[in-house]
Structure 1
Amino acid sequence: MSHTEPRSGESENALAGVELRMAADPTQLSIVRAVAADIAMRQDFDLDSIEDLKLAVDEACSTLISLATTDAVLSARFIVVDGAVQVFTEVGSERSAPPDRDSFGWRVLSALVDSVTTWVAPRADAFEVHIDLVKRSLGTVDA
Protein backbone atom coordinates (compact mmCIF):
# COMPACT_ATOMS: atom_id res chain seq x y z
CA MET A 1 0.00 0.00 0.00
CA SER A 2 1.17 3.49 -0.69
CA HIS A 3 -0.30 6.84 0.19
CA THR A 4 -0.99 9.39 -2.48
CA GLU A 5 -1.55 13.11 -2.35
CA PRO A 6 -4.79 14.59 -3.67
CA ARG A 7 -4.64 15.70 -7.28
CA SER A 8 -4.22 19.41 -7.85
CA GLY A 9 -7.57 21.15 -7.73
CA GLU A 10 -9.03 18.81 -5.12
CA SER A 11 -10.24 20.46 -1.96
CA GLU A 12 -7.73 21.09 0.80
CA ASN A 13 -9.67 18.92 3.25
CA ALA A 14 -9.15 15.86 1.08
CA LEU A 15 -8.07 12.83 3.06
CA ALA A 16 -4.75 11.38 1.96
CA GLY A 17 -5.50 8.54 -0.39
CA VAL A 18 -4.72 4.85 -0.29
CA GLU A 19 -3.42 2.99 -3.31
CA LEU A 20 -3.45 -0.77 -3.70
CA ARG A 21 -1.29 -2.42 -6.34
CA MET A 22 -1.79 -6.13 -6.84
CA ALA A 23 -1.68 -8.86 -9.42
CA ALA A 24 -4.58 -8.55 -11.85
CA ASP A 25 -6.04 -11.79 -10.55
CA PRO A 26 -9.58 -12.50 -9.25
CA THR A 27 -8.13 -13.94 -6.03
CA GLN A 28 -7.11 -10.39 -5.06
CA LEU A 29 -10.65 -8.95 -5.19
CA SER A 30 -11.41 -9.60 -1.53
CA ILE A 31 -8.59 -7.24 -0.54
CA VAL A 32 -9.85 -4.33 -2.60
CA ARG A 33 -13.45 -4.92 -1.40
CA ALA A 34 -12.28 -4.87 2.22
CA VAL A 35 -10.45 -1.57 1.74
CA ALA A 36 -13.48 -0.03 0.01
CA ALA A 37 -15.74 -1.11 2.87
CA ASP A 38 -13.35 0.20 5.52
CA ILE A 39 -13.05 3.60 3.87
CA ALA A 40 -16.83 3.88 3.45
CA MET A 41 -17.40 2.91 7.12
CA ARG A 42 -14.93 5.57 8.26
CA GLN A 43 -16.96 8.12 6.27
CA ASP A 44 -20.15 7.05 8.08
CA PHE A 45 -21.80 5.61 4.97
CA ASP A 46 -24.96 3.66 5.78
CA LEU A 47 -24.87 -0.13 5.36
CA ASP A 48 -26.51 -0.10 1.92
CA SER A 49 -24.03 2.51 0.61
CA ILE A 50 -21.10 0.52 2.00
CA GLU A 51 -22.35 -2.59 0.21
CA ASP A 52 -22.95 -0.62 -3.00
CA LEU A 53 -19.37 0.70 -2.96
CA LYS A 54 -17.95 -2.78 -2.30
CA LEU A 55 -19.93 -4.25 -5.20
CA ALA A 56 -19.03 -1.37 -7.52
CA VAL A 57 -15.32 -1.68 -6.76
CA ASP A 58 -15.57 -5.44 -7.26
CA GLU A 59 -17.29 -4.98 -10.64
CA ALA A 60 -14.81 -2.32 -11.81
CA CYS A 61 -11.80 -4.43 -10.81
CA SER A 62 -13.33 -7.63 -12.25
CA THR A 63 -13.89 -5.84 -15.55
CA LEU A 64 -10.31 -4.61 -15.63
CA ILE A 65 -8.94 -8.05 -14.71
CA SER A 66 -10.80 -9.51 -17.70
CA LEU A 67 -8.99 -6.98 -19.95
CA ALA A 68 -5.54 -7.28 -18.34
CA THR A 69 -2.39 -8.46 -20.03
CA THR A 70 -0.52 -11.45 -18.60
CA ASP A 71 1.28 -10.47 -15.39
CA ALA A 72 -0.45 -7.05 -15.31
CA VAL A 73 -0.70 -5.04 -12.11
CA LEU A 74 -4.13 -3.77 -11.06
CA SER A 75 -4.12 -0.42 -9.27
CA ALA A 76 -6.99 0.88 -7.13
CA ARG A 77 -6.60 4.32 -5.59
CA PHE A 78 -9.12 5.61 -3.04
CA ILE A 79 -9.46 9.29 -2.14
CA VAL A 80 -12.08 10.87 0.12
CA VAL A 81 -13.15 14.40 -0.79
CA ASP A 82 -16.01 16.20 0.94
CA GLY A 83 -17.56 12.93 2.15
CA ALA A 84 -17.44 11.24 -1.26
CA VAL A 85 -15.22 8.26 -1.97
CA GLN A 86 -13.45 8.53 -5.31
CA VAL A 87 -11.96 5.32 -6.69
CA PHE A 88 -9.49 5.31 -9.58
CA THR A 89 -8.74 1.86 -11.00
CA GLU A 90 -6.42 0.92 -13.85
CA VAL A 91 -4.68 -2.01 -15.50
CA GLY A 92 -2.37 -2.65 -18.44
CA SER A 93 -4.14 -4.10 -21.45
CA GLU A 94 -3.58 -4.93 -25.10
CA ARG A 95 -7.05 -3.56 -25.80
CA SER A 96 -7.31 0.01 -27.08
CA ALA A 97 -11.05 0.33 -26.41
CA PRO A 98 -12.72 0.98 -23.05
CA PRO A 99 -15.01 -1.62 -21.45
CA ASP A 100 -18.38 -2.17 -23.11
CA ARG A 101 -20.80 0.40 -21.66
CA ASP A 102 -23.78 -1.60 -22.92
CA SER A 103 -22.92 -4.72 -20.92
CA PHE A 104 -24.96 -5.93 -17.96
CA GLY A 105 -21.95 -5.47 -15.66
CA TRP A 106 -21.57 -1.83 -16.71
CA ARG A 107 -25.26 -1.18 -16.06
CA VAL A 108 -24.95 -2.69 -12.59
CA LEU A 109 -21.83 -0.64 -11.91
CA SER A 110 -23.56 2.56 -13.06
CA ALA A 111 -26.54 1.86 -10.79
CA LEU A 112 -24.37 1.38 -7.69
CA VAL A 113 -22.42 4.68 -7.77
CA ASP A 114 -23.08 8.36 -8.37
CA SER A 115 -20.75 8.56 -11.36
CA VAL A 116 -18.55 6.22 -13.34
CA THR A 117 -16.22 6.92 -16.26
CA THR A 118 -13.85 4.82 -18.29
CA TRP A 119 -11.02 5.75 -20.60
CA VAL A 120 -7.92 4.32 -22.23
CA ALA A 121 -4.43 5.84 -22.31
CA PRO A 122 -1.65 4.64 -24.62
CA ARG A 123 1.52 3.28 -23.04
CA ALA A 124 4.84 2.56 -24.67
CA ASP A 125 4.12 -1.17 -24.93
CA ALA A 126 0.31 -1.40 -24.78
CA PHE A 127 -2.60 0.51 -23.24
CA GLU A 128 -3.81 1.47 -19.78
CA VAL A 129 -7.55 0.97 -19.20
CA HIS A 130 -9.12 3.08 -16.44
CA ILE A 131 -12.43 2.94 -14.60
CA ASP A 132 -13.05 5.81 -12.18
CA LEU A 133 -16.06 6.03 -9.89
CA VAL A 134 -17.53 8.23 -7.18
CA LYS A 135 -19.85 7.20 -4.37
CA ARG A 136 -21.32 9.83 -2.06
CA SER A 137 -22.85 9.18 1.32
CA LEU A 138 -26.57 9.88 1.56
CA GLY A 139 -25.88 13.02 3.59
CA THR A 140 -23.49 14.49 0.99
CA VAL A 141 -24.94 17.15 -1.28
CA ASP A 142 -23.29 18.33 -4.49
CA ALA A 143 -21.67 21.71 -4.14
Structure 2
Amino acid sequence: MDPTPSADGTGNSSGVHGGGLRDVVQLTIPAAGAYLTVLRTATASLAARLDFTLEDIEDLRIAVDEASALLLVSAVPGSALECVFSLSPGLMRVTVSVDSLDGEPPSKDTFAWTVLSALAGEVSSSTGPGHRVTIELAKRRGDRADLGEPPAGHVRSRSAEPSELGAKLGAVGTS
Protein backbone atom coordinates (compact mmCIF):
# COMPACT_ATOMS: atom_id res chain seq x y z
CA MET A 1 0.00 0.00 0.00
CA ASP A 2 1.28 3.45 -0.90
CA PRO A 3 1.16 5.63 2.26
CA THR A 4 1.34 8.93 0.38
CA PRO A 5 -1.75 11.07 1.07
CA SER A 6 -3.81 12.40 -1.80
CA ALA A 7 -5.13 15.92 -2.22
CA ASP A 8 -8.44 14.94 -0.62
CA GLY A 9 -6.65 13.77 2.55
CA THR A 10 -7.93 10.20 2.35
CA GLY A 11 -4.50 8.63 2.13
CA ASN A 12 -5.45 7.01 -1.18
CA SER A 13 -2.96 8.20 -3.77
CA SER A 14 -3.73 5.52 -6.33
CA GLY A 15 -5.16 8.26 -8.54
CA VAL A 16 -1.69 9.28 -9.66
CA HIS A 17 -1.38 6.09 -11.67
CA GLY A 18 -4.94 5.13 -12.37
CA GLY A 19 -8.16 6.76 -11.25
CA GLY A 20 -7.68 10.31 -12.51
CA LEU A 21 -7.35 11.86 -9.06
CA ARG A 22 -4.74 14.49 -8.41
CA ASP A 23 -2.10 14.71 -5.69
CA VAL A 24 -0.76 18.08 -4.61
CA VAL A 25 2.63 18.59 -2.94
CA GLN A 26 3.49 22.03 -1.59
CA LEU A 27 6.96 23.16 -0.51
CA THR A 28 7.89 26.52 0.97
CA ILE A 29 11.57 27.42 1.21
CA PRO A 30 13.51 30.61 1.93
CA ALA A 31 13.81 32.72 -1.22
CA ALA A 32 17.54 32.09 -1.58
CA GLY A 33 19.51 30.18 -4.20
CA ALA A 34 21.07 27.92 -1.58
CA TYR A 35 17.72 26.17 -1.10
CA LEU A 36 16.96 25.43 -4.77
CA THR A 37 18.54 22.00 -4.45
CA VAL A 38 15.53 21.01 -2.33
CA LEU A 39 13.18 21.88 -5.21
CA ARG A 40 15.36 20.13 -7.80
CA THR A 41 15.38 16.94 -5.71
CA ALA A 42 11.63 17.05 -5.06
CA THR A 43 10.93 17.68 -8.75
CA ALA A 44 12.99 14.68 -9.85
CA SER A 45 11.43 12.42 -7.23
CA LEU A 46 7.85 13.38 -8.07
CA ALA A 47 8.42 13.11 -11.84
CA ALA A 48 9.90 9.63 -11.33
CA ARG A 49 6.80 8.70 -9.34
CA LEU A 50 4.73 9.62 -12.42
CA ASP A 51 6.92 7.35 -14.59
CA PHE A 52 8.46 10.19 -16.59
CA THR A 53 11.49 9.27 -18.71
CA LEU A 54 14.95 10.16 -17.45
CA GLU A 55 15.17 12.91 -20.09
CA ASP A 56 11.83 14.39 -19.02
CA ILE A 57 12.81 14.20 -15.35
CA GLU A 58 16.00 16.12 -16.08
CA ASP A 59 14.11 18.68 -18.20
CA LEU A 60 11.61 19.26 -15.38
CA ARG A 61 14.32 19.49 -12.75
CA ILE A 62 16.19 22.13 -14.73
CA ALA A 63 12.95 23.98 -15.62
CA VAL A 64 11.89 24.28 -11.97
CA ASP A 65 15.39 25.47 -11.07
CA GLU A 66 15.34 28.04 -13.90
CA ALA A 67 11.83 29.30 -13.02
CA SER A 68 12.86 29.68 -9.39
CA ALA A 69 16.06 31.50 -10.33
CA LEU A 70 14.07 33.92 -12.52
CA LEU A 71 11.83 34.74 -9.56
CA LEU A 72 14.64 35.05 -7.01
CA VAL A 73 16.15 37.98 -8.94
CA SER A 74 13.37 40.29 -7.72
CA ALA A 75 12.29 38.47 -4.54
CA VAL A 76 11.67 40.51 -1.40
CA PRO A 77 14.64 39.89 0.94
CA GLY A 78 13.71 37.40 3.66
CA SER A 79 10.60 36.21 1.81
CA ALA A 80 9.62 32.62 1.02
CA LEU A 81 9.48 30.87 -2.34
CA GLU A 82 6.46 28.61 -2.68
CA CYS A 83 6.40 25.65 -5.05
CA VAL A 84 3.24 23.62 -5.65
CA PHE A 85 3.40 20.36 -7.61
CA SER A 86 0.06 19.10 -8.99
CA LEU A 87 0.39 15.48 -10.06
CA SER A 88 -2.07 13.80 -12.40
CA PRO A 89 -1.68 10.64 -14.48
CA GLY A 90 1.05 11.51 -17.00
CA LEU A 91 1.06 15.23 -16.16
CA MET A 92 2.95 17.42 -13.73
CA ARG A 93 2.05 21.05 -13.16
CA VAL A 94 4.46 23.15 -11.13
CA THR A 95 3.62 26.60 -9.80
CA VAL A 96 6.47 28.64 -8.33
CA SER A 97 5.72 31.99 -6.68
CA VAL A 98 7.38 34.65 -4.56
CA ASP A 99 6.69 38.13 -3.22
CA SER A 100 8.48 40.46 -5.63
CA LEU A 101 10.00 43.89 -5.12
CA ASP A 102 8.54 45.24 -8.37
CA GLY A 103 5.61 42.91 -9.05
CA GLU A 104 6.77 42.39 -12.62
CA PRO A 105 6.77 38.89 -14.12
CA PRO A 106 9.96 37.79 -15.91
CA SER A 107 10.34 39.03 -19.47
CA LYS A 108 9.36 36.48 -22.09
CA ASP A 109 11.86 37.98 -24.56
CA THR A 110 14.93 36.58 -22.83
CA PHE A 111 17.22 33.64 -23.42
CA ALA A 112 16.27 32.26 -19.98
CA TRP A 113 12.56 32.23 -20.91
CA THR A 114 13.37 30.49 -24.22
CA VAL A 115 15.27 27.78 -22.34
CA LEU A 116 12.44 27.44 -19.82
CA SER A 117 9.85 27.07 -22.58
CA ALA A 118 11.93 24.43 -24.36
CA LEU A 119 12.28 22.38 -21.20
CA ALA A 120 8.77 22.53 -19.77
CA GLY A 121 6.36 22.45 -22.68
CA GLU A 122 3.77 24.88 -21.27
CA VAL A 123 4.97 27.99 -19.41
CA SER A 124 3.12 31.07 -18.20
CA SER A 125 3.65 33.87 -15.71
CA SER A 126 1.36 36.18 -13.78
CA THR A 127 1.27 38.78 -11.04
CA GLY A 128 -1.16 38.55 -8.15
CA PRO A 129 -2.10 40.68 -5.16
CA GLY A 130 0.74 42.20 -3.16
CA HIS A 131 3.30 41.92 -5.98
CA ARG A 132 3.16 38.11 -5.85
CA VAL A 133 4.78 36.84 -9.07
CA THR A 134 4.09 33.31 -10.29
CA ILE A 135 5.51 31.06 -13.00
CA GLU A 136 3.51 27.97 -13.92
CA LEU A 137 4.99 25.03 -15.83
CA ALA A 138 3.27 21.95 -17.20
CA LYS A 139 4.84 18.86 -18.70
CA ARG A 140 3.19 15.69 -19.97
CA ARG A 141 4.94 12.35 -19.77
CA GLY A 142 6.69 11.62 -23.08
CA ASP A 143 5.90 15.07 -24.48
CA ARG A 144 9.19 16.21 -26.02
CA ALA A 145 9.45 19.67 -27.54
CA ASP A 146 9.45 19.88 -31.32
CA LEU A 147 12.73 21.63 -31.83
CA GLY A 148 12.51 21.79 -35.58
CA GLU A 149 15.00 20.77 -38.20
CA PRO A 150 18.74 21.21 -37.69
CA PRO A 151 20.45 24.13 -39.45
CA ALA A 152 21.30 23.67 -43.14
CA GLY A 153 24.37 21.51 -43.62
CA HIS A 154 24.09 19.96 -40.16
CA VAL A 155 23.86 16.18 -40.10
CA ARG A 156 22.69 14.40 -36.98
CA SER A 157 24.16 11.03 -36.25
CA ARG A 158 21.64 8.67 -34.68
CA SER A 159 24.26 7.42 -32.22
CA ALA A 160 25.42 10.92 -31.26
CA GLU A 161 22.20 12.95 -31.34
CA PRO A 162 22.48 16.10 -29.22
CA SER A 163 20.28 16.60 -26.18
CA GLU A 164 16.98 18.38 -26.72
CA LEU A 165 18.24 21.43 -24.85
CA GLY A 166 21.45 21.51 -26.87
CA ALA A 167 19.48 21.31 -30.11
CA LYS A 168 17.15 24.10 -28.99
CA LEU A 169 20.04 26.31 -27.96
CA GLY A 170 21.68 25.71 -31.33
CA ALA A 171 18.44 26.63 -33.11
CA VAL A 172 18.15 29.85 -31.09
CA GLY A 173 21.60 30.95 -32.25
CA THR A 174 20.72 30.42 -35.92
CA SER A 175 17.41 32.30 -35.98
Shorter-chain-normalised TM-score: which range? 0.7 to 0.9
The answer on whether the counterparts of 1:14 and 1:79 sit within 8 Å (CA) in structure 2 is: no
Segments ≥4 residues shifted beyond 3 Å:
3-6
Partner secondary structure for residue 73 of structure 2: helix
Which residue does 1:38 correspond to in 2?
45
Match of 1:23 among 30, 33, 51: 30
Match of 2:98 among 73, 88, 91: 91
Superposed displacement of residue 67, structure 1:
1.4
Which residue does 1:59 correspond to in 2?
66
Q: Which moved more, 1:75-84 or 1:52-61?
A: 75-84
TM-score by length of 1: 0.84
Q: Distance in 2 between matches of 1:118 and 1:4?
A: 27
Q: Distance in 1 between matches of 2:36 and 2:117?
A: 19
Read off the aligned partner of 2:139 and give its amino acid letter: K
Superposed displacement of residue 15, structure 1:
2.9
The answer on whether the counterparts of 1:78 and 1:86 sit within 8 Å (CA) in structure 2 is: yes
- Percent of aligned pairs sharing the same letter: 35
> Does 1 or 2 have the higher relative contact order (CA < 8 Å, sep 6+)?
1
Read off the aligned partner of 1:98 and give its amino acid letter: P
* Richer in helix (by share): 2
Partner secondary structure for residue 67 of structure 1: coil
Partner secondary structure for residue 89 of structure 1: strand
Q: Distance in 2 between matches of 1:90 and 1:101?
A: 16
Q: Are 2:144 and 1:122 aligned?
A: no
Which residue does 1:78 correspond to in 2?
85
Say if 1:42 and 1:110 are closer, same or farther in 2 by CA, change over 3 A: same
Mark the structure with the bigger radius of gyration. 2
* Richer in strand (by share): 1
Read off the aligned partner of 1:34 and give its amino acid letter: T
- Tell me, which stretches of 5 or more residues in structure 2 are unaligned? 9-18, 144-175
Superposed displacement of residue 83, structure 1:
1.3
Which residue does 2:139 correspond to in 1?
135
Q: Distance in 1 between matches of 2:82 and 2:35?
A: 11
Read off the aligned partner of 2:26 and give its amino acid letter: E
- Tell me, which stretches of 5 or more residues in structure 1 are unaligned? 7-11
Read off the aligned partner of 1:111 and give its amino acid letter: A
